[in-house]
Amino acid sequence: MSHNTFSQTLKWAIKDGISLVHQVLGRPHNRTRGQIQRLEAAMTDSEIEHQRISLIVRATNTPESTVRTFADRAPRQMMVSEHFQGHTMGLRDSTTLHTLICACDVERCVETGVAAGASSAIILQELERRQRGRLVSIDIQSVLANHYGELIPESHRGRWELRIQREKPLLPMVLEELASIDFFLHDSRHVLRHMMWEYELAWRYLRPGGCLASHDVIMTTAFDDFYRKYRFEIADGGIIGAVGFWIKKK
Ligand SMILES: C[S@@+](CC[C@H](N)C(=O)[O-])C[C@H]1O[C@@H](n2cnc3c(N)ncnc32)[C@H](O)[C@@H]1O
């Protein structure tokens, strides 16, 4: 075994050990693949559709017929290059994000995790339709950096700013620059500590009535943990498939 493989194996063993201790003690943890598969299998398309409409109607105070129109307008397909196959938000969650962003009054948007840019394209499409607002997206430096956001049409790029992170996390700086935001989407590194760090940081800059959303909320307990900690500041929200959102109290 090479030195690198050995140290990687050792790191995994330590992480698994810590996760096991957390589970035994009932502390927050990253979910196992089996738990995630069981959660995903339990959700049918029609259940998700029902949840999407009812939750977004209630949380954003938008008439049901309007929310249904938003959902019907969601993109039906996205052609992703081979670079990002398997790393792009699927149609079910894209439809939820599209419906949510249409129902929220947002201008200053921030997201982490761009890849092909399915989520970015959805947010930008709505900003462009309204002719106001901008999106700042953060991703990390990699050989694929030149391809980030490939799904974003040229016509929508005027409202988009891509920030590439090298060593230091960029999120604190971006939020500080914007001072206040209307919408935050986490879709970067889905591990408990990182998700919680992004949620808590973004929440501090989210204006009252703003929306914090996250993809892949079923990967860890961070989204539920966040609710337990901030429930007195949360007006409404919940989970639809693998997308969760919380609306901040006014
Ligand atoms: C699941 S993909 C994002 C999918 C994208 N939102 C979409 O809808 O197509 C996750 C992305 O997060 C990026 N990423 C990983 N760690 C990150 C970090 N610490 N900060 C920002 N982005 C990160 C990866 O480089 C990858 O491009």
Q: Which pLDDT value is given to residue 34?
A: 75
**Across residues 18-38, what is the average pLDDT?**
61
Ligand 1 atom closest to residue 115's alpha carbon, by position in its atom list: 27
Give residue 124's domain range.
32-248
Q: Which pLDDT value is given to residue 154?
A: 97
- 106 within 8 A of 133, measured Cβ to Cβ: yes
Check whether residue 20 and residue 45 sit in a common domain: no
The number of residues in the chain equals 250
Report the domain count for the chain: 2
Check whether residue 186 and residue 118 sit in a common domain: yes
Residue with tokens 């995790």: 113
Ligand 1 pocket member 66 (CB < 6 A): no
Distance 86 CA to ligand 1 centre (A): 12
Distance 161 CA to ligand 1 centre (A): 15
At residue 80, φ and ψ (nearest 5 deg) are -100, 140
Distance 138 CA to ligand 1 centre (A): 8
Ligand 1 pocket member 117 (CB < 6 A): yes
Ligand 1 pocket member 118 (CB < 6 A): yes
**Across residues 68-93, what is the average pLDDT?**
94
Ligand 1 atom closest to residue 216's alpha carbon, by position in its atom list: 1
Q: Give me the residues paired with residue 30 across strands.
A: 220
**Across residues 240-245, what is the average pLDDT?**
94
Residue among 219, 220, 202 at smallest CA distance from 211: 202
Check whether residue 150 and residue 201 sit in a common domain: yes
Does 3 score more than 70 pLDDT? no
Long-range CB pairs of 59-64 (<8 Å, 24+ gap) are 59/235, 59/236, 59/237, 59/238, 59/245, 59/247, 60/100, 60/103, 60/104, 60/247, 62/103
Check whether residue 13 and residue 118 sit in a common domain: no
**Across residues 108-134, what is the average pLDDT?**
98
Of 26-40, 179-193, 220-234, the one with minimum mean pLDDT is 26-40
Check whether residue 128 and residue 16 sit in a common domain: no
At residue 89, φ and ψ (nearest 5 deg) are -60, 130
What Å distances lie between residue 117 and 26, 84, 137, 219, CA to CA? 36, 9, 9, 20
Distance 112 CA to ligand 1 centre (A): 6
DSSP state of 242: T
At residue 77, φ and ψ (nearest 5 deg) are -155, 155
**Across residues 192-203, what is the average pLDDT?**
97
Q: Give the DSSP H or E segment for 101.
A: helix 91-103
Give the model confidence (pLDDT) of 96-118 as tens digits: 999 999 999 999 999 999 999 99
At residue 181, φ and ψ (nearest 5 deg) are -125, 160
Distance 57 CA to ligand 1 centre (A): 29
DSSP 13-30: HHHHHHHHHHHHHT---B
Categorize the per-residue pLDDT at 229 as very low, low, confident or very high, splitting at 50, 70 and 90.
very high
Ligand 1 pocket member 97 (CB < 6 A): no
Does 25 score more than 50 pLDDT? no
Higher pLDDT among residues 37 and 50, named by residue: 50
Task: For ligand 1, atom 27, name the residue with the nearest CA.
Answer: 115
Check whether residue 37 and residue 92 sit in a common domain: yes
CATH of the domain at 173: 3.40.50.150
In the three-class reduction of DSSP (H, G, I as helix; E, B as strand; rest coil), residue 89 is classed as coil
Check whether residue 13 and residue 57 sit in a common domain: no
Residue among 148, 143, 194 at smallest CA distance from 171: 194
Q: Over the chain, what is the mean pLDDT?
A: 90
Distance 66 CA to ligand 1 centre (A): 31
Ligand 1 pocket member 219 (CB < 6 A): no
Check whether residue 19 and residue 121 sit in a common domain: no
Ligand 1 pocket member 237 (CB < 6 A): no
Ligand 1 pocket member 220 (CB < 6 A): no
- 248 within 8 A of 213, measured Cβ to Cβ: no
